[in-house]
Structure 1
Amino acid sequence: MNHFTLPVRVYYEDTDAGGIVYYVNYLKFMERGRSEWLRSLGFDQSVLSVLFVVRGVEIRYEAPARLDDLLQVQVALKECRGARLVFEQQILRDDGLVLCLAQVEVACVDRDSLRPCRLPDTLLHGLPKRDADIA
């Protein structure tokens, strides 16, 4: 199950004065998507010996989301190497309109030292194989 979708409703707190989702909140939606994707694979981040930190993001905004919209946050693992995961993510409105596309690079770091480290074997073996890109 490499392709994962999380439904998210747009609340007032997500928007600016014009009722449009503030651009940085798309990154928060994507973070929730990756966290829930990992949870769906049976991993609880609070008990892992590692943390995941965003190393880089390439993002493109296509259309605005508005107050009360129901969104679909999609997550697909594109690459998994050593201490790095690369995700293709997109956010769509419930009618299928693509609002935002991103590639997110995540680094694995030791929980105590915060130094980069390889993914633990249990995690590495529990991750799905790479799917075709979703974008």
Structure 2
Amino acid sequence: MTIRVYYEDTDVGGVVYHSNYLNFCERARSQLFFDAGRSPILDGGHFVAKHIDADYIKSAKFGDILELKTTLVEIKNASFTLLQEVFRGDVKLFSMKIVLVYIDFTGKMAKIPSSEKEFLAAL
């Protein structure tokens, strides 16, 4: 997914504010579902972040065009792990591993539905 850095994404110095990298990655995860004609909100539940390990490597700045890449690292019965990276051209700016857990609408962790597990495995 490609995005442009807007003024609202930056601090007073024109550098992307640290928490916005998480927002960019959230958009990229949602876009994976939308591109496949799906919604990240499922009939029986949805995914929530359980753990994030983030590495801020270099700064993105106002006006930059960024490429976000998402790769499946691992899938389990009720969770999956993604590697998400942000690039400006060939330069990696940010990298994170995120563990997402499937919860049902009662708020309890549950087994990922098989159709969604197949979709995720194809990433």
TM-score range, shorter chain: over 0.9
Matched residue SS, 1:26: helix
Partner of residue 79, structure 1:
74
Check if 1:50 corresponds to 2:66: no
With normalisation by structure 1, the TM-score equals 0.85
User: Which of residues 113, 116, 120 in structure 2 aligns to 1:120?
Assistant: 113
After superposition, the C-alpha distances for 1:71-91 in whole angstroms (9 at most, x for unaligned) are: 001101111101101001100
> Residues of 2 paired with 1:44 and 1:26: CA distance?
22
Check if 1:23 corresponds to 2:33: no
Matched residue SS, 2:11: coil
> Residues of 1 paired with 2:109 and 2:77: CA distance?
10
CA RMSD of superposed structures (Å): 1.4
1:98: how far off? 0.5
Partner of residue 108, structure 1:
102
**Structure 1 segments unaligned to the other structure (5+ residues):** 1-5, 131-135
Shift of the 46–129 alpha-carbon distance from structure 1 to 2, 3 Å rule, reads closer
> Residues of 2 paired with 1:65 and 1:86: CA distance?
25
> Residues of 2 paired with 1:88 and 1:118: CA distance?
21
* Partner amino acid, structure 2, of 1:24: S
Matched residue SS, 2:93: strand
> Residues of 1 paired with 2:18 and 2:33: CA distance?
24
**Structure 2 segments unaligned to the other structure (5+ residues):** none
* Partner amino acid, structure 2, of 1:88: L
Partner of residue 33, structure 1:
28
Aligned residues of 1:21 and 1:65 also touching (Cα < 8 A): yes
> Residues of 2 paired with 1:53 and 1:24: CA distance?
17
Matched residue SS, 2:28: helix
> Residues of 2 paired with 1:45 and 1:61: CA distance?
26
> Residues of 1 paired with 2:107 and 2:36: CA distance?
24
1:12: how far off? 0.5
